[in-house]
Amino acid sequence: MQLYFNPASPYVRKVRVTAHELGLSDRIELITLSLTPVSPHDELRSRNPLGKIPALITDDGAVLYDSPVVCEYLDALAGGHRIFPVPGGARWTALRRQALADGIMDAAVLIRYEQAVRPQELRWQSWVDGQFLKIRTALDALEQEHLESAFDIGTISIACALGYLDLRFAGEGWRTRRPRLAAWLGAAGQRPSLAATAAPAA
Amino acid sequence: MQLYFNPASPYVRKVRVTAHELGLSDRIELITLSLTPVSPHDELRSRNPLGKIPALITDDGAVLYDSPVVCEYLDALAGGHRIFPVPGGARWTALRRQALADGIMDAAVLIRYEQAVRPQELRWQSWVDGQFLKIRTALDALEQEHLESAFDIGTISIACALGYLDLRFAGEGWRTRRPRLAAWLGAAGQRPSLAATAAPAA
């Protein structure tokens, strides 16, 4: 299999952590690229029309995206229901947490585009404030969740979202009023799958 | 159950079409609201920290989001695997198509925010162009797919994405060079689930 990859992407990291947890990393070749919505990548667009990563080319030559789909595919390839629980309460919790974490990533990436890609004179502080409100509200909600009981697609996604905040928004100090979440990431981050896929410092 | 709702949201429409197809519409009460990233809705934020719709309150009082999660939950509630195929080729195709359609919606909504919400002097044409490129490339890819063989979460999502383009970007004329896709939507749109949930004219 081949995976379109960038080391800074939290969405790609979800796939790499999943593959590592499932023992599939050795079967995935990484194709490295860089892109933004205003600097698209034509080869990638010919595989994933949305021009986004991750995109996985399976051994059958099919192309799969986005990260939730690729992660669930890998889970099935490894026998199924190891990181995506069977339908029932645990599954809905894991999928809701994945959506919450992906939403943190979406907001953080939009802030990044606003602050690092858009021309300075066209930036809109209210947009940045609105996206940060989503992130802070989500972090406050996560502080109240009992994450310790599961390592599945929900908690994998949360770890990758928090890692991206550390990479791009370390100055925001998300740990300050969220000691339980910080302690959880400190422990979870020791897992080989997360340690092996941490983004290099910016 | 209760569903946070806006008649223009293509993501909410996915849930309503799914509920209709599964015979669950009568069990869902709609809570209507309006919001953008710069005009958040505090009650919604207390349920879904991301402040986005759809969010579903289940009969157990749990809150589920985003649209893929709510749709899969409803499918399980109705017995399972009626609009989300069992793991295998059909499932990966349906989920990839859902991601493609959701990506069209994401790009279209970002263009809408740029053109209708952001102050005029802060708008960036390159951003709009980059998002439209994603939409056009996705539509060209859909023109090549054989959508007739399935009515599942993939094709439901595609119909809702195309409906949103008709609502907000009718002037773009997406049908012009995509006759097969246009014919498919013309036929699919006759289904009671899609006819009953069409957005009112803008």
Cβ pair A99:B66 closer than 8 A: yes
Report the domain count for chain B: 2
Q: Does A186 lie in the same domain as A114? A: yes
Q: Does B171 lie in the same domain as B102? A: yes
Question: Does B79 contact chain A (CB < 8 Å)?
Answer: no
- Mean pLDDT calculated for residue range A110-117: 98
- Mean pLDDT calculated for residue range A49-78: 98
Q: Does B97 lie in the same domain as B179? A: yes
Question: Does B33 contact chain A (CB < 8 Å)?
Answer: no
pLDDT band per the 50, 70, 90 thresholds, residue B202:
low
- Token pair listed for A105: 């990533």
Q: Does A106 lie in the same domain as A70? A: no
Contact list in B for residue A69 (CB cut-off 8 A) is: 92, 95-96, 98-99
For residue A11, the domain's CATH number is 3.40.30.10
Contact list in A for residue B138 (CB cut-off 8 A) is: 49-50
pLDDT band per the 50, 70, 90 thresholds, residue A202:
low
The sign one gets for the Cα dihedral B60, B64, B67, B71 is negative
For residue A127, the domain's CATH number is 1.20.1050.10
Contact list in B for residue A107 (CB cut-off 8 A) is: 50
Question: Does B103 contact chain A (CB < 8 Å)?
Answer: yes
Furthest-apart CA atoms within chain B: distance in Å? 52
CB atoms within 10 A of CB A74: 25
Please say whether the beta carbons of A135 and A165 come within 8 A.
yes
Considering only alpha carbons, which residue of chain A is nearest residue B81? A87
Strand A56-57 versus strand A63-64 pairing type: antiparallel
Last residue of some domain: A77, A105, A136?
A77
Q: Does A178 lie in the same domain as A102? A: yes
In B79-171, which residue ranges form alpha helices assigned H by DSSP?
Answer: 89-112, 125-143, 153-168
Q: Does A30 lie in the same domain as A8? A: yes
Considering only alpha carbons, which residue of chain B is nearest residue A133? B50
pLDDT tens string A120-160: 999 999 999 999 999 999 999 999 999 998 899 999 999 99
DSSP bridge pairs for A3: A30, A56
Chain CA centroid to CA A71, Å? 11
Considering only alpha carbons, which residue of chain A is nearest residue B45? A137
- Mean pLDDT calculated for residue range B173-183: 97
What is the rounded radius of gyration, in angstroms, for the C-alpha atoms of chain B?
Answer: 17
Residues B55, B45: Cα–Cα separation, whole Å: 10
Question: Does A148 contact chain B (CB < 8 Å)?
Answer: no
Q: Does A176 lie in the same domain as A110? A: yes
Q: Does B120 lie in the same domain as B70? A: no
Question: Does A43 contact chain B (CB < 8 Å)?
Answer: no
Contacts for A140 with CB less than 8 Å, ≥ 6 apart: A177, A178, B49
Average pLDDT, chain B: 97
Residue at A107 is within a domain = yes
Q: Does B27 lie in the same domain as B60? A: yes
Residue at A170 is within a domain = yes
Residue A201: is its pLDDT beyond 80?
no
Residue A90's SS3 state is helix
Bin A88: left if φ > 0, else alpha if -120 < ψ < 50, else beta.
left
pLDDT band per the 50, 70, 90 thresholds, residue B200:
confident
Question: Does B127 contact chain A (CB < 8 Å)?
Answer: yes
- Token pair listed for A2: 């081949």
What pTM does this model have?
Answer: 0.98
Q: Does A40 lie in the same domain as A69? A: yes
Domain coverage including residue B154: 89-191
pLDDT at residue number B96 = 98
Residues A197, A75: Cα–Cα separation, whole Å: 18
CA distance A105 to chain B (A): 11
Place of tokens 């994405």: B161
Cβ pair A124:B122 closer than 8 A: yes
Contact list in B for residue A61 (CB cut-off 8 A) is: none
Cβ pair A92:B64 closer than 8 A: yes
Q: Does B67 lie in the same domain as B132? A: no
Contact list in B for residue A38 (CB cut-off 8 A) is: 126-127, 129-130
- Token pair listed for B111: 């263009």
pLDDT at residue number A27 = 98
Residue B148: is its pLDDT beyond 70?
yes
Residues B118, B188: Cα–Cα separation, whole Å: 35
Cβ pair B140:A52 closer than 8 A: no
CA distance A141 to chain B (A): 7
Cβ pair A52:B103 closer than 8 A: yes
> How buried is residue B191: exposed, middle or buried, by Cβ count under 10 Å (0-12/13-18/19+)?
middle
Last residue of some domain: B77, B110, B133?
B77
Question: Does A187 contact chain B (CB < 8 Å)?
Answer: no
Please say whether the beta carbons of B188 and B151 come within 8 A.
yes
CB burial string B30-60: b at 16+ within 10 A, e below: eeeeebebbebbeebbebbbbbbbbbbbeee
Residue at B84 is within a domain = no
Residues making up chain B, counted from first to last: 202
Whole-complex ipTM: 0.98
Residue at A199 is within a domain = no
